[in-house]
Amino acid sequence: MSKKLISGLFATLFLFLSAPISSAADIPLLTWERGKEQNIVLGGYAASGNWRIELVGLDTKPLTFHPSAVNNNGYLVYSVAVPKDFKLGSYTINVFGGASTKPSVVAGVNVIGMTTYAVTQVPADLKFLLLSLAFIVSIFAVIRARKYAIHSYPREITLIEDGSLVHDERFPRSLYKAYQIRTNSISGLKPSPFKFFVGRDSRFLHFISPVLWTVFPGVALVLGLAAGFATHNRIPNIPIYFLAGLAVVGLADSYSGVFGAFGFAAAQIMLGNVTSLRAVLILIAFGIGWTLPGLFGDLLHLMSQRDFNGKGDDRFGKGITQILLVASALFVGVFFYFAQILADSLSVGIRTHFNYLMAISAGVCLLYLVKHFLVSYFERKLLSSGNSTYERFEISGLASPITTTVFALWTFAVAYVWSQSWTTAAIMALVIASPVAALLVRLSKPEIKRLARWKRNVYFELLIVLTLSAGIYLYIGKLPLLVARKSEIMLAIGMVPVLLHALLASLYDVTGLRNMYLDSNTGEDVVK
């Protein structure tokens, strides 16, 4: 009897002891990766209450979820972007609101490090990428205006042109062939903006030394190979010294930057790390970062100078010139950073040296300024020597059908890797490629005379496009949808302002052809 009594007492004791454990087991336990946006869906009577939801942990400032708008069924989505440096560990989701003043713990969360990168789950990165793309593509829509069409630059007469290559004792005989190859590789290209700006950019090394100009692509190729082998299968984590080295090489000479990218790609292919479209796109993204920042910086600088031409050589005019130069340098740094984030967005690996990337981007910005001042110095010296000639280029057609097709395919592939949705990828490729495709032709109608009053200004137009795009992203961010779905919508319609701007630019082009002429003194389009 006594044994039964004791057994009964123990059973009762364990029943009460197990009650709190049962209570804790009632809430779900989630596993979330930091660095991504996380969502909570509230349904039922959620719209009627003023709910506040927080991710709460020990020794950590709580993260507050932001509510979306309410959908037709009364559901709304609470979202929070868990920072990349958020403290790992256990957290609870506390809900405040309703009749109770105390929070309700509705779930436990184990926050872990990011295991795979998916740009559709990191809206901040996605917005940055799309805004950068909008900026770059919109430049193409602006540049078709007549006042930006004609460009020229002074350059040294090459050693081949003046026949001094084989007579100059300072130039090693072993490099004759290499010098000829490089000279011909550029001059052999069809006239295009790319050829013009690469040639303009390569003056810097030729000013310093024709020998350096000759061997630099080879140096870049070796450096790229070394970087590719050193990186092995840890993309996007290229060793920091190689990343910085290739960035400097590409900024000093874009032509050599291409060879650096080739070397890196060759090494990666030989190592067997490039077996998918995703990997090819990553290589292209890195190649963009090592090749194009300086070229696009020069393009933007030349265009903005046209906008503010005629401000005079007084103090105000010089101040404007300096501001435009600094703005272009900032753009170069951001462009390099964009290329790296683009590579990150295509990779499933996680970048670990993020702070170094910021420092390198800032360094690229400063190096562009230094390069510009040195080129200006060499230009003045060249013009006084008389050993110069002018390269002139008129932008009649910005893009060839092949260029447009490649760009559309690249956009499609990137959007597919991001969204893994054929439809989304097709829409985004169509929207982004359209402005570039518009550069293929010059329309003859419809003619809207009112557009003739439009004073073209690259920065002003880009600002409007970016503001509209940002407004659209803000609106999409408030939709009661999960982050992946919102990202898909952003990819599909986020570039619509770019498309509208390109259409307007084409119509302006029609009007300008018939009703305007270029004032040779001011460089401005003038209404007839």
Whether 368 contacts 329, CB under 8 Å: yes
Kindly state the tokens that stand for 97.
């609101």
The residue within the footprint of other proteins, chosen from 42, 408, 499, 505 (CB under 8 A), is 42
Give min distance, CB of 238 to other proteins, in A.
Answer: 17
Q: Which is nearer to other proteins, 149 or 279 (CB)?
A: 279
The residue within the footprint of other proteins, chosen from 8, 83, 89, 98 (CB under 8 A), is 98
Give min distance, CB of 240 to other proteins, in A.
Answer: 23
In three-state secondary structure terms, 50 is coil
Give min distance, CB of 56 to other proteins, in A.
Answer: 14
- Interface with other proteins, residue 265, by CB under 8 A: yes
What x/- string results for residues 46 through 85 when contact with other proteins is judged by CB under 8 A? x-xx-x----------------------------------
* Residues between 452 and 511 with contacts to other proteins, criterion CB under 8 A: 482
The residue within the footprint of other proteins, chosen from 17, 21, 99, 402 (CB under 8 A), is 99
- Interface with other proteins, residue 420, by CB under 8 A: yes
- Interface with other proteins, residue 36, by CB under 8 A: yes
- Interface with other proteins, residue 219, by CB under 8 A: no
- Interface with other proteins, residue 344, by CB under 8 A: no
Taking contact as CB under 8 A, which single stretch among the options 5-13, 42-50, 368-376, 456-464 is the one that binds other proteins?
42-50
* Residues between 118 and 177 with contacts to other proteins, criterion CB under 8 A: 121
At 50, give phi and psi (nearest 5°): -95, 85
The residue within the footprint of other proteins, chosen from 269, 330, 350, 426 (CB under 8 A), is 269
At 29, give phi and psi (nearest 5°): -110, 120
CA 167, 171, 177, 180 torsion: positive or negative?
A: negative
The residue within the footprint of other proteins, chosen from 7, 24, 44, 374 (CB under 8 A), is 44
Taking contact as CB under 8 A, which single stretch among the options 43-51, 127-135, 139-147, 224-232 is the one that binds other proteins?
43-51
Cα 215 from chain centroid?
30
In three-state secondary structure terms, 313 is coil
Give min distance, CB of 446 to other proteins, in A.
Answer: 41
- Interface with other proteins, residue 251, by CB under 8 A: no
In three-state secondary structure terms, 78 is strand
Whether 346 contacts 278, CB under 8 Å: yes
Q: Which is nearer to other proteins, 7 or 64 (CB)?
A: 64
- Interface with other proteins, residue 275, by CB under 8 A: yes
Give the number of residues in contact with other proteins, rule: CB under 8 A: 50
DSSP character at residue 65 = P
Residues 202 and 213: their CA atoms lie apart, in Å, by 8
- Residue 369: how many other CB atoms lie within 10 Å: 17
What x/- string results for residues 101 through 120 when contact with other proteins is judged by CB under 8 A? -----xx----x--xx----
- Interface with other proteins, residue 2, by CB under 8 A: no
Give min distance, CB of 269 to other proteins, in A.
Answer: 5
Give min distance, CB of 219 to other proteins, in A.
Answer: 15
Which runs of E-coded beta strand occur in 70-217?
A: 76-81, 89-97, 100-112, 150-156
Long-range contacts of the stretch 421-424 (C-beta < 8 A, 24+): 421/488, 423/492, 424/488, 424/491, 424/492
Torsion of CA 114, 117, 123, 126, to 10 degrees: 150
The residue within the footprint of other proteins, chosen from 39, 68, 328, 411 (CB under 8 A), is 39
Q: Which is nearer to other proteins, 47 or 504 (CB)?
A: 47
Give min distance, CB of 41 to other proteins, in A.
Answer: 4
SS3 annotation, 170-204? CCCHHHHHHHHHHHHHHHCCCCCHHHHHHHHHCHH
DSSP-derived pairing of the beta strands 66-67 and 60-64: unpaired
Q: Which is nearer to other proteins, 104 or 506 (CB)?
A: 104
State the helix-helix crossing angle for 254-270 and 240-252, rounded to 10 degrees: 140
- Interface with other proteins, residue 359, by CB under 8 A: no
Q: Which is nearer to other proteins, 267 or 433 (CB)?
A: 267
Secondary structure (DSSP) of 356-425 = HHHHHHHHHHHHHHHHHHHHHHHHHHHHHHS-EEEEEEE-S-S--HHHHHHHHHHHHHHHHHHH--HHHH
What residues pair up with 104 in beta bridges, in sequence order? 95
Sequence-ordered alpha helix ranges (H) in 209-308: 210-231, 240-252, 254-270, 277-307
Judged by the rule CB under 8 A, the positions of this chain that interact with other proteins are: 28, 30-33, 36, 38-46, 48-49, 51, 93, 95, 98-99, 106-107, 112, 115-116, 121, 185, 258-259, 262, 265-266, 269-270, 272, 274-280, 348, 413, 416-417, 420, 482
